[in-house]
Structure 1
Amino acid sequence: MIRKHPQPVRPSRRAVLGGAVAAFAAAAGAGTAQAAGRGPTWPTEFPLPDGWLPEGITIGSEPYAYMGSRADGAIYRTDLRTGEGRVLHEGAPGLAAIGLELGRDGLLYVSGGGDGTARTVDARTGEPRATHRLTAATGHFVNDVVLLRDRAWFTDSYDAVLYGVPRGRGGGRVRALPLTGDWEQLPGVINANGIVSTPDGRGVIVVKSTPGELYRVDLGTGRADRITLVGADDVVNGDGLVRVGRTLYVVQNRLDVVTVFDLDAGATTATLRRSVTDPRFDVPATAARFRDRLYLVNARFTSPQTPETTFTAVAVPL
C-alpha cells in the first residue's frame, strides 16, 4: 500500500484565474527539499490549482515547468526555484492540454486529446498561436508530443498513426504517418502514449500502454519495431517517457513507479536498470527533466476528478 503524504496548501483555481494567486511560501517548503547543484534549496513538491486535472509537463533550459490541464486546455507555469506559479494560458471550454513540449522557438506544442487537434502557445505570453486539425474523424485521442528536427510528432492513442506538424511560426502541411511493422492496434484501449526521440535522433520511441510495450519507429516509413525488454516483462500503463542519453525513464502511471532502462546503441533492446518509487506518487502521468531531477505531475486518475480535487507535482533525483 502506498502511504500518501498530507497535501500541501494550494490556491483554489477560481482565485488563480481571477489573478489573485495565493501565497505559496508554505507550499514551496512542503515535502522534502534538496539542493539543486550548488544553488539554493529548491522545493521537491509544489501545488497546482484545485481541479486542474494535470497530465502533461515540459521544462526547457530555464527553471520553469509548464503543466497542462485536461479540464479546459489551460497551461500553468511554475518557477522550480520557489514553487510559485500562475496560469499562463487560460484555455477555453471544450479544450484539453494533454502532452506538452517546449521548443527553442519559444512555442509550447500542445496535444489536444479527444478534439483531434494540436495547438501552439507562446511560452512567454501565453497567447495562442496556431491550431492544427490532425484528424476530422471522432474516436481519436491526440496524446503526447516530441520535437524532432523540423516537426512536432504527436501520438494517437486510438489509431495506429503518428502526426507530424511543421514546427515554427509559419505554416505547412500536417503529415499522417501510419504505423506498420510489429505494431498491432488493439481496440477499445490506450495504445500509443508517450513518445521521445531515439538516441541517434533518426526516429522515435513510443510506449504502447496496453499491453505495455516499447517500439522504435522509423519516421520515414512508419515501420515500428518492438524493442526487446531485458529484466522486465512489460511496461504496462506506460505513459510519459523521458530519455537522457541512452537512459530511458518510463512513467507507469497506475503502478506509481518510474522504470529506468538502458538502451543499446540502436534502441533495439532496453535493459532494466532500476525502478523509482516515492510515497508522494499518486498516479503520475508524465515527467520532464531539469538538471539532476525528474519532475512528475500527479494525475490522480483513481481519485475523484472534481473542481475541488487537489493536485501536485513532485521531483525525484535522477
Structure 2
Amino acid sequence: MAPTDRSFARRRLLSTAAALSGAALLGGTAHAAETGRHGWPAQFPLPDGFQPEGITIGMKPFAYFGSLANGDIYRANLATGRGSVLSKGPGVGHPTVGLKIDQHCRRLFVAGGDSGEIRTIDARSGELEKVYATGGTFVNDVILTPGAAWFTDSFKPVLYKLLLGPHGTPGAVKTVPLSGDWAQGADFTANGIERTPDGSALLVVNAFANGGGLMRVDPRTGVARTVDLGAARLPNGDGLLLLGRILYAVQQQQNAVDVFRLNEAGTKGTAIARITDPRFRIPTTVAAWGKRLYLPNARFDVEPTPQTEYDVVAVDQV
C-alpha cells in the first residue's frame, strides 16, 4: 500500500486484543463532562467528509482542525460550535495531520503526512506561507518549543526540527536521528509528541517498542530513553497533551484517553485515570480550553466518503 493507505488501514485494523491489554493495565476510569455546561456545546459537528485528525487551540477559544482528505484547516468557535474552513488545503495527497498554533495565534505549523511536507500557514488569513520538503515518509505530529517546532515521522526513526527565530520566524529544517532505546517497527511507530514538564526534553509515543509506550528524547542528541509507565502501555497511543505534570495520551482504537502524572524530568509516569465516553468514535488528538478537553472523532473504523459525518467531543479534564 501507499504510506497513507498503509498507515490509516493499520489504524483501523489494530487488534481488539491490543486495545483490551492497554485498558486492563490502567486503574480507575473517569467519564465525560456533562453536556452543555456553561452553555458551551460539549459536542459539535465538522463538515461531512472532512476526515479530521489533528486539533490545536491557542490563547483564544477557537479550535483548529486538520483534514486528512485534502489538507483543509477548519476553525471553530468553542462558544458556539460553529466554524468554517480557514485555509484550503493543497488537495489529495497533501493531508493535514498534526498541527499547532503559536502562542500569539499568528501561525499554524502543519505536519503533512505522507506528502513528507511541513507547512506554515498564516492563522489569521489562512494563507499558505511556506512548504518544507523533509524527504520524510509520514510527517505525523508537531510540538512547539522555544526556538523550534518538532515533528515526528511514523515510518522513520527521526525527528524534524524546524528552527524558529527570535520572533518565531521559521528558518531551516534539520533532521535529528533517533537512537538509544528507540526501536523502529516495520509499520506505524512514532506518533504524538510533547515536552517534558521541565521543558528539558521531548516525549514521543512509540507504538512498537515494549508493546507501546513513551520515549523521552534528548533534543540535542536524539538519544531516546524509555519512560517508566509501570505496567501501562500505549499500543494505540496517538495525540499527547501535557498540562502541568498531567499527561493525557489518546488511545484512539480504545476510545479512551489515558492520564498519567509525570515527574518533572519526564522519566517516569504514574497512571491515574482513564477517560471514556460513549460519544468517542476513535478520537485521535486532544487540546484544552478552560477545564475541558476537546477531541475530534476520526472514525478510522469506517471507510470515509464525502458524506461521512464527523464531530468533536468535549470532556472534563481530570
More helix by share: 2
1:156 is matched with which residue? 153
Structure 2 unaligned spans of 5+: 1-33
> After the TM superposition, which residues 79-158 of structure 1 pair with which residues of structure 2 at under 5 Å, given as runs?
79-93=77-91, 94-105=93-104, 106-135=106-135, 140-158=137-155
2-structure distance, mates of 1:112, 1:180: 24
When residues 218 and 306 of structure 1 are mapped into structure 2, their CA distance, relative to the original with a 3 A threshold, is same
TM-superposition CA deviations, 1:90-143 (whole Å, max 9, x none): 1122311000100025100000000101001111110111111111x6xx1000
When residues 58 and 134 of structure 1 are mapped into structure 2, their CA distance, relative to the original with a 3 A threshold, is same
The secondary structure found in structure 2 opposite 1:143 is: strand
2-structure distance, mates of 1:229, 1:165: 29
> After the TM superposition, which residues 165-176 of structure 1 pair with which residues of structure 2 at under 5 Å, given as runs?
165-167=162-164, 170=169, 172-176=171-175
2:201 is matched with which residue? 203
1:8 is matched with which residue? none
Q: Percent same amino acid among aligned pairs? A: 47
1:271 is matched with which residue? 270
The secondary structure found in structure 2 opposite 1:286 is: coil
User: Which amino acid counterpart does residue 55 of structure 1 have in structure 2?
Assistant: E
In the TM superposition, residue 229 of structure 1 has moved relative to its aligned partner by 1.0
The secondary structure found in structure 1 opposite 2:302 is: coil
Structure 2 residue 185 is matched with structure 1 residue 186? yes
Aligned residue pairs total 278
**Contact 1:231–1:271 at 8 Å: present in 2 too?**
no
In the TM superposition, residue 265 of structure 1 has moved relative to its aligned partner by 2.0
1:34 is matched with which residue? 37
2-structure distance, mates of 1:244, 1:172: 28
In the TM superposition, residue 169 of structure 1 has moved relative to its aligned partner by 6.7
Runs of 4+ in 1 over 6 A off after TM superposition: none
TM-superposition CA deviations, 1:5-49 (whole Å, max 9, x none): xxxxxxxxxxxxxxxxxxxxxxxxxx92112xxxxx100100000
TM-superposition CA deviations, 1:172-194 (whole Å, max 9, x none): 3211100011001111x211100
**Contact 2:294–2:315 at 8 Å: present in 1 too?**
yes
**Contact 1:249–1:261 at 8 Å: present in 2 too?**
yes
TM-superposition CA deviations, 1:188-207 (whole Å, max 9, x none): x2111000111111111001
The secondary structure found in structure 1 opposite 2:259 is: strand
Structure 1 unaligned spans of 5+: 1-30, 36-40
1:25 is matched with which residue? none
Instruction: Name the Cα RMSD after superposition.
Output: 1.3
**Contact 2:49–2:308 at 8 Å: present in 1 too?**
yes
Query: Normalization by structure 2: what TM-score?
Result: 0.85
User: Which amino acid counterpart does residue 252 of structure 2 have in structure 1?
Assistant: N
**Contact 2:147–2:168 at 8 Å: present in 1 too?**
no
The secondary structure found in structure 2 opposite 1:87 is: strand
2:69 is matched with which residue? 71
**Contact 2:55–2:295 at 8 Å: present in 1 too?**
yes
2-structure distance, mates of 1:57, 1:261: 21
The secondary structure found in structure 2 opposite 1:254 is: helix
When residues 217 and 274 of structure 1 are mapped into structure 2, their CA distance, relative to the original with a 3 A threshold, is same
